[in-house]
A and B are shown apart, each in its own frame.
Chain A
Amino acid sequence: MSLNLWSIWWPTYAILHNYNLVQTNYILFPIYTNVFPLISLPTSLVYGLLRPIFGPILAYNLILPLFGFLNAFSIYIFFSKYLNNPYFAALGAGVVAFNPITYEIAQQSELPLLAIFVIPICLLSFERFLNTPRSLNGVIAGLALYLVIITSIYFWTLILTVLLPYVIYRLYQRRFGWRSLRPALWGSILFLLLLFIFPINVIIGSSVLHRYSPLVALQGQLYSLSPFLAVMLIVAALALRWGSHDQESSKITRYLVGFILVTNLLCFILPTLSPLNLSGILSLSGTIHVSEFLLPIIAVAVLLVLRRIEAHKEAITPKRLWISLLTLVLVSQWWIPLASTTVPQLNYYEILAREPEDYVIADYPVGIVTSAEQLSIPMESAVSDAQQIGSSFRAAATLLSEPFHQKRLIGGVALYLRPDDILPYKINPLLRILTAQPVSEDLQVLAQKFRDASLRWRVGYIFVHTDVLDSESLSFIHQWLTWTNVYCYVTLENQVEIWRARWNPAGCGPSTFSIGDPNARMMLGAGWYGEEKWDQTSVRWAGQQTDSHLSFWITPQADFQMKLQIYSTANEQQSLVVKANGETLGKVALTKDWHDYLFLLPRRLISMSQGLVSLELIHDQTFSIEGRELTAAYGTMTLEEEHP
């Protein structure tokens, strides 16, 4: 579902915003992947038209009934050419449009694959040309064929296994000479012209397209044969045999039926022999995408049977008719409700969608699932380790969010990836942390790289999904984000914490660290006790020794005024010396109770250590209270830019 919604949303977004339609890093940032096999321009156009009216979800849901209707309607018109009885045509259209195959396609939300109406439209436009061989009809036929091409890459084989034999059959039947075909040349040249505009350039530009795109199979196994489909196929086979023995059927008709039956069945059973596979454009294998080859077989069987029944009307009784109809409805599977998917839609996504820049959004935890993982086809051994990275269970939900916030995404459901492609996810600290992979480097080095990468890649927001995190992971990310100080906490919505990058013009305000908060633990060095709550205020005692250490990161963009909120119990004079990166910032006398103490943190000191500030809080003495050696309690530390 997630990849399907994404692939239907993406083309209109890419075209309207001048992005490359095919090579994109909108998913799996910063990797560029080829999404061509996912693209269905007509489906996206429908979605693009419906979305502003009905919203992103209803628009998507409306496509299914719309395509279902268009399928049935176009097949009805096509069958009407061969059947005299309109009821028979309607029945036939119903069977072809609503059967276990189309149900399976709908169930998996493969909307482009459901747009089979383009095939009858193409056949009808060709029939129109045959009846009136004019240039305009030739152009219409050419455009109809182009419509098939851009609707789904998986229909391309059907051009060879259904459309071409049908065209040859009809030309032969109508005794059409080459001269009569002249008006079709306008359509042919227009078809070629459009083909070279899109998609031939994409195929040639990606000579290794198939290596990136066995996304033929996302969630798409046609788990052997469903019992319904098995029944349907047996009936179709029997019907074909019965129907093609009609006395009226000519030899050439039988050849056509035989050809369509054999080629499509072969493509279904042995998808590696399909023209798409042989040409190296795409890998098809035992998936929902090969089930389309069964549809022409069913269509031909239904048409032949109905023609024969039509010829023997006396055999039709109301009882037989009702039983047949009921059986068909039962077998079709369409009476079973389609599965629904929960969409991770946050109100905050709308705010993000309105922001003018296409920065990157990261979820925590996030992961990648490549379709290859779910394929049963033999893979190159070298790529086997590129199938799953990080918290892959979150991949689909992550991808599903992109059509809503419309920003680039780290992680997600991926296309076919090579180990080289996945490299950034294995070596970059930011990606490794976000994908919850183990990190072993020195934390300071890691933090600096994390800060650099978040800036360099414009990772504008991090969404922390608290509902899927255990307490340890949640605590880790809180501490990490607090210490590295490149993101600030914004809000919580539906158990999702939203953290915004400090560079974001929406702003974060001054850096404030609550030293008493558990999230500050990563900041702390030696000389601290555990966190305490005093009237809802988080507090932490410094002690055990006179010196207490803490560190934090900040961008050295100016001198900072550092305000420390300190509680002292001492009745007598107690002094505090504050050192930053080894240099004394000042010495103050602490007075009893809570007070704010100000120090100037020069930019020079921060830049010396590339943004890491190590503070040393040196008290002159400790006090023994309730068995603990204490110096002072610390509340918050605030850093504000000092403007000259």
Chain B
Amino acid sequence: MKIFKTMPDRLRVELAAALCLLTLTLIVFVVVNPFNSALDDWAVIFTTKPGVASTITRYAGRPFSFDGILLANLLFNGQVQGIFIVHVVSIFLTAFCLFHLVTRLIPNQTAFAFLVASLYLFYLPINVSQIMAVQFEIYSWACMVAVVAMTLFTEQALIKGWSAALILAFACVFGYVAVLSYESTFPLLLLAPVILFIVQRKFSRHFVASALIWYVGISIAFLQFVIPYLHGDSTQVYQETYFKPVRSVSAFLSNTLAFSYLNFPVSSLIKDFGDFFASPYLTTAIVLGLIGLVVWRIFSIIAHTTYPVLSLRELLLILIVGFVAIAAGGIVYIYANFLVPRSVTFSAIGEAVVLSAAICLLDVIIQRFFAVRPGLIIVGALSVLFCVGCYWYYHDNANAPEPYDFTQQAVFFREFVSLIPDVKSPTLIYYQCDTSDTKVSTRYQSETGDVYGIRYLYDDRANFRKTNELSFNAQDITVASSYGDLLGPILPKRYGYDQLVVVACTPDGLTIVDPLPAALAQGENAYNPYQRIVYDYINPSQARILAP
């Protein structure tokens, strides 16, 4: 077989880039625990149930945001690891599309394109969010769909014929899905024709028509989001309950500055760099970083690349485009006044471009003034960035909030389904646990999102509440609206005592409370938790999601 020898150069380079970028992605994610979770992970898992994803509009107008999770469910049959894999693959695909995009826009600069793509993987001040795959798959998925759309749009502009029209159609579909997956992608998508114009520097009929179609496609999606929002739909109610958008220019400017710092957290980076040398992860990070450099070198040899040879002017232009991309990726967060680490998810693409251009710029300048060997600065910067990047991933993973999670350490939910394999519908499970008791608090702290865990495990036959969400009346129990009602079918607001199961925590584990505690004695006669429980084998899909 002479498959590699006879392969066209472009295909060979793309294949090499794909393999090398995938290896780089695995290098950064190799330290990440797939089960690192955040508080509302169960809500994410819950959306994999049929029909639940469509109810997301109750709090966010993003009907496609759970598509990645649905895909994970389809491919991996309800495994949480499936979401992790889709998350990692989304990040890899974004990096690969970036590589492709840059090679198409700046021909013969595969090394620069690879630099951008690999820095997208390693320079991520947001990795503290990125490592929590189950929750942030929604972001990585939306970002990937947007970059695929931009890549397809660029690709169609560089070819002719019917295939260009077909690719444009796909680009518009991806753009549409991206906006309705996460509205923050819209400003980024607006940039695609602008960047193309900057590169081509000519107005052709083809360009105008395709840009028009593109803008129409993504604008329809954006209007679908924004019109109900402006009319004060449930999304607006929810969003404005939790987020306070900026209302003045000074607040906007102040947020912009804060956002810039999030993108380039210089003082944190310097501090982290200091910590890096004192860290127990030093050896691992350096070894992983060096393997990253080996991969970089392997790509350079296979793709016959030389170090980037962009002119000063070109680099300055790229730098500006990068900054604009950062702004486009972050504008929504600046407006929403929501400047948490994850707000740089969509500007990470711009970050990679800016950083790559800055490194090359430095290389060019130092070459000119000090006659240093070309590429030395790039290799030096890469060594540092790869090692520190690995350190960040490792360090953040190690410091991720210890999950009460639903997999390897799933004591809470595993015991739950052991005690209650299934329930008759509808059942109210009241979780009574004094978390101030130090003997039990570390193991059995139930979180807000757990209601979705129980709804998922019992297929909405059971509702799960804690004390402050329930009113115990003489005849019945009323349930207050809460976070647990945002998704999925609407559950009853009233339950009889005969529909109640009280579960308590003990130092040995969970237990079913029987008889009712004295405070709830009014329901004593009707209460029989064992009549609500259906003793059966634990459902295989439940077992799978709880399985280590």
With an 8 A cutoff between CB atoms, is A25 at the interface?
A: yes
- Is the Cβ of B79 less than 8 Å from the Cβ of A357? no
Min CB distance A236 to B, Å, is 37
Chain A, Cβ-Cβ closest to B19: A189
Asked whether A32 and B408 contact (CB < 8 A) given A19-B547, A196-B27, A457-B418, the answer is: yes
Among A179-187, A284-292, A293-301, A337-345, the one that faces the other chain is: A179-187
Complex CA distance for A103 and B543, rounded to whole angstroms: 42
Min CB distance A454 to B, Å, is 10
Contacts of A531 in B (CB 8 A): none
Count of chain A to chain B residue pairs whose CB atoms are closer than 8 Å in the complex: 122
Complex CA distance for A457 and B530, rounded to whole angstroms: 18
Among A54-62, A73-81, A123-131, A198-206, the one that faces the other chain is: A198-206
With an 8 A cutoff between CB atoms, is A423 at the interface?
A: no
Interchain CB contact (< 8 A) of B79 among A18, A32, A610: A18
With an 8 A cutoff between CB atoms, is B291 at the interface?
A: yes
Near A by CB (< 8 A), chain B positions 505-519 give: 508-511, 514-515
When each residue 45-77 of chain B gets 1 if its CB lies under 8 Å from chain A and 0 otherwise, what string results?
000000000000000000000000000000011
Asked whether A186 and B528 contact (CB < 8 A) given A193-B26, A356-B540, A456-B510, the answer is: no
Asked whether A193 and B19 contact (CB < 8 A) given A20-B548, A32-B548, A452-B508, the answer is: yes
Chain B, Cβ-Cβ closest to A20: B548
- Is the Cβ of B302 less than 8 Å from the Cβ of A185? yes
Asked whether A453 and B508 contact (CB < 8 A) given A18-B544, A19-B548, A134-B4, the answer is: yes
With an 8 A cutoff between CB atoms, is A197 at the interface?
A: yes
With an 8 A cutoff between CB atoms, is A401 at the interface?
A: no
Complex CA distance for A32 and B415, rounded to whole angstroms: 16
Complex CA distance for A278 and B299, rounded to whole angstroms: 32
When each residue 211-238 of chain A gets 1 if its CB lies under 8 Å from chain B and 0 otherwise, what string results?
0000000000000000000000000000
- Is the Cβ of A557 less than 8 Å from the Cβ of B530? yes
- Is the Cβ of A182 less than 8 Å from the Cβ of B530? no
When each residue 341-372 of chain B gets 1 if its CB lies under 8 Å from chain A and 0 otherwise, what string results?
00000000000000000000000000000000
With an 8 A cutoff between CB atoms, is A636 at the interface?
A: no
- Is the Cβ of B20 less than 8 Å from the Cβ of A189? yes
Chain B, Cβ-Cβ closest to A197: B26
Min CB distance A354 to B, Å, is 11
Complex CA distance for A186 and B548, rounded to whole angstroms: 34
Asked whether A556 and B514 contact (CB < 8 A) given A18-B547, A189-B23, A196-B23, the answer is: yes
With an 8 A cutoff between CB atoms, is B312 at the interface?
A: no
With an 8 A cutoff between CB atoms, is A629 at the interface?
A: no
Complex CA distance for A292 and B30, rounded to whole angstroms: 30
- Is the Cβ of A20 less than 8 Å from the Cβ of B408? yes
Task: Name which of B302, B537, B540 has the most chain A CB atoms within 10 A of its CB.
Answer: B537
Complex CA distance for A604 and B537, rounded to whole angstroms: 28
Interchain CB contact (< 8 A) of A608 among B19, B284, B515, B537: B515
Complex CA distance for A172 and B213, rounded to whole angstroms: 61
- Is the Cβ of B302 less than 8 Å from the Cβ of A186? yes
Min CB distance B282 to A, Å, is 13
Min CB distance B95 to A, Å, is 14
With an 8 A cutoff between CB atoms, is B31 at the interface?
A: yes
Tell me the interface secondary structure of chain B in the complex.
helix
Min CB distance A505 to B, Å, is 5
Min CB distance B327 to A, Å, is 35
Contacts of A453 in B (CB 8 A): 508-509
Complex CA distance for A610 and B504, rounded to whole angstroms: 14
Complex CA distance for A23 and B81, rounded to whole angstroms: 14
Contacts of B299 in A (CB 8 A): 189
Chain A, Cβ-Cβ closest to B514: A607
Asked whether A558 and B547 contact (CB < 8 A) given A204-B30, A356-B537, A505-B537, the answer is: no
When each residue 598-613 of chain A gets 1 if its CB lies under 8 Å from chain B and 0 otherwise, what string results?
0000011001101000
Contacts of A20 in B (CB 8 A): 408, 547-548
- Is the Cβ of A456 less than 8 Å from the Cβ of B509? yes
Contacts of A452 in B (CB 8 A): 508-509, 511
Complex CA distance for A603 and B526, rounded to whole angstroms: 11
- Is the Cβ of B515 less than 8 Å from the Cβ of A607? yes
- Is the Cβ of B22 less than 8 Å from the Cβ of A193? yes
Interchain CB contact (< 8 A) of B1 among A17, A136, A201: A136
Asked whether A503 and B535 contact (CB < 8 A) given A189-B19, A455-B419, A458-B418, the answer is: yes
Contacts of B295 in A (CB 8 A): 189, 192
Min CB distance A390 to B, Å, is 20
Complex CA distance for A151 and B264, rounded to whole angstroms: 45
Complex CA distance for A182 and B297, rounded to whole angstroms: 11
Chain B contact-residue range equals: 35 or more
Min CB distance A30 to B, Å, is 9
- Is the Cβ of A188 less than 8 Å from the Cβ of B298? yes
Contacts of B1 in A (CB 8 A): 134, 136
- Is the Cβ of A23 less than 8 Å from the Cβ of B408? yes
Near B by CB (< 8 A), chain A positions 328-374 give: 355-359
- Is the Cβ of B4 less than 8 Å from the Cβ of A135? yes
Near A by CB (< 8 A), chain B positions 406-433 give: 408, 415, 418-419, 421
Complex CA distance for A505 and B536, rounded to whole angstroms: 5
With an 8 A cutoff between CB atoms, is B201 at the interface?
A: no
With an 8 A cutoff between CB atoms, is A64 at the interface?
A: no
Chain A contact-residue range equals: 35 or more
Asked whether A183 and B4 contact (CB < 8 A) given A197-B26, A357-B543, A505-B535, the answer is: yes
Contacts of B528 in A (CB 8 A): 557-558, 603
When each residue 537-569 of chain A gets 1 if its CB lies under 8 Å from chain B and 0 otherwise, what string results?
000000000000000000111100000000000
With an 8 A cutoff between CB atoms, is B377 at the interface?
A: no
With an 8 A cutoff between CB atoms, is A157 at the interface?
A: no
Contacts of A197 in B (CB 8 A): 26
Task: Name which of B79, B294, B295, B514 has the most chain A CB atoms within 10 A of its CB.
Answer: B514
Contacts of B510 in A (CB 8 A): 456
Contacts of B291 in A (CB 8 A): 192
Chain A, Cβ-Cβ closest to B3: A136
With an 8 A cutoff between CB atoms, is A24 at the interface?
A: yes
Asked whether A205 and B31 contact (CB < 8 A) given A456-B419, A457-B418, the answer is: yes
Complex CA distance for A291 and B364, rounded to whole angstroms: 57
With an 8 A cutoff between CB atoms, is A449 at the interface?
A: yes
With an 8 A cutoff between CB atoms, is B531 at the interface?
A: yes
Complex CA distance for A455 and B291, rounded to whole angstroms: 49
Complex CA distance for A400 and B114, rounded to whole angstroms: 52
Min CB distance B388 to A, Å, is 17
- Is the Cβ of A458 less than 8 Å from the Cβ of B538? yes
Chain A, Cβ-Cβ closest to B533: A557
Near A by CB (< 8 A), chain B positions 1-42 give: 1-5, 16, 19-20, 22-23, 26-27, 30-31, 33
Contacts of A610 in B (CB 8 A): 514
Min CB distance A501 to B, Å, is 10
With an 8 A cutoff between CB atoms, is B269 at the interface?
A: no
Contacts of B509 in A (CB 8 A): 452-453, 456
Complex CA distance for A277 and B207, rounded to whole angstroms: 63
- Is the Cβ of A201 less than 8 Å from the Cβ of B530? no
With an 8 A cutoff between CB atoms, is A190 at the interface?
A: yes
Contacts of A505 in B (CB 8 A): 535-537
Complex CA distance for A182 and B22, rounded to whole angstroms: 20
Chain B, Cβ-Cβ closest to A193: B23
- Is the Cβ of B537 less than 8 Å from the Cβ of A357? yes
- Is the Cβ of B548 less than 8 Å from the Cβ of A204? no
When each residue 421-439 of chain A gets 1 if its CB lies under 8 Å from chain B and 0 otherwise, what string results?
0000000100000000000
Known: A20-B408, A136-B4. 5 other contacts (CB 8 A): A25-B548, A135-B4, A201-B31, A453-B508, A607-B514
Sorted nearest first, the 5 A-B pairs with minimum C-beta distance are A557-B530, A135-B4, A196-B26, A357-B537, A20-B548
18 contacts between A and B (CB under 8 A): A20-B408, A20-B547, A23-B408, A32-B548, A183-B4, A192-B291, A192-B295, A196-B30, A200-B30, A201-B30, A428-B508, A452-B511, A455-B419, A503-B535, A557-B528, A557-B530, A604-B515, A607-B514
A-to-B contact residues, CB < 8 Å: 17-20, 23-25, 32, 134-136, 182-183, 185-186, 188-190, 192-193, 196-197, 200-201, 204-205, 207, 355-359, 428, 449, 452-453, 455-458, 503, 505, 555-558, 603-604, 607-608, 610
